[in-house]
Amino acid sequence: MEEYLQATEIIDWQNPEVLKLAKKLAQGTTNVEKIAKICFEWVRDKIYHSSDYQMNPVTCYASEVLKHKTGYCYAKSHLLAALLRANSIPAGFCYQRLSVYDDGAPYCLHGFNGVYLPQYGWYHIDTRGNKVEVDAQFVPPKEQLAYKLNFPEEIDFQQVFSEPLPEIIQALQTYNTWQELLNNLPDLEFFE
């Protein structure tokens, strides 16, 4: 589990502002499930999805996401992992391959988190941000992600990665505006 607790360049949970928020959200409880739910709901509801709100800049590092209060699903998952890891809760990264416009090709990766809950093991949570057709919740043991698979080319990858995929980091660091990234969302058909 050690690799799911590490501070890294991207998951910079030792950043003073990230650490301060992590401790504030956990204040008053040591219950892992409660802390995970509070952190999940905070990122889901307080960090605005870049394309939904047409917000710049494109963020990547957990501390950037917190500073600018915006991020694509991938960046939001980086902040949630940082908040959980700062509270000694193992957290990693999960991906789905989904239709961009929910009508077949083109496809892109969607990012969310895996959190290790002692009572359930790895549990998937999606901080993408709710809207009319999206209702992601924290209701273990049931998983309620933002999206369901609708096409044969869509994939729910089961692995929980300790680091974000390099393709995700490259995309977040290449494009400067939410619109540029929306036009160039990362995609992988299969993990190698």
64-108 pLDDT tens trace: 999 999 999 999 999 999 999 999 999 999 999 999 999 999 999
Token pair recorded at residue 76: 């939001």
DSSP structure class, residue 126:
-
| Encoded tokens for 178 | 């939410």
Length of the chain: 192
- For residue 57, say if its preceding peptide bond is cis, omega within 30 degrees of 0: yes
Asked if 82 contacts 22 with a C-beta cutoff of 8 angstroms, the reply is yes
The domains located in the chain, with CATH, are 2-181 (3.10.620.30)
pLDDT at 125: 98
Closest CA to 90 of 110, 115, 63, 65: 115
Binning pLDDT at 50, 70 and 90, where does residue 190 land? low
| Residues 125, 146: Cα–Cα separation, whole Å | 9
CA distances for 53 relative to 40, 50, 70, 163, angstroms: 19, 6, 9, 27
Mean pLDDT for 45-49 is 98
Tens-place pLDDT, residues 8-23: 999 999 999 999 999 9
Q: Residue 191: what pLDDT?
A: 52
Query: What residues have CB less than 8 Å from 168, skipping those under 6 apart?
Result: 74, 109, 111, 186
How much of the chain exceeds pLDDT 90, in percent? 96
Measured between alpha carbons, how far is 87 from 79 in angstroms, rounded to an integer? 13
Partnered with residue 40 across adjacent β-strands are none
Q: Is the pLDDT of residue 38 over 80?
A: yes
CA–CA distance, 53 with 71 (Å, rounded to integer): 10
The CA-based angle 13-172-37, given to 5 degrees, is 40
Cis bond leading into 106, ω under 30°?
Answer: yes
Contacts 24+ apart (CB under 8 A), 140-144: 140/33
Query: Over 90: is that where the pLDDT of 192 sits?
Result: no
Q: What is the pLDDT of residue 188?
A: 84
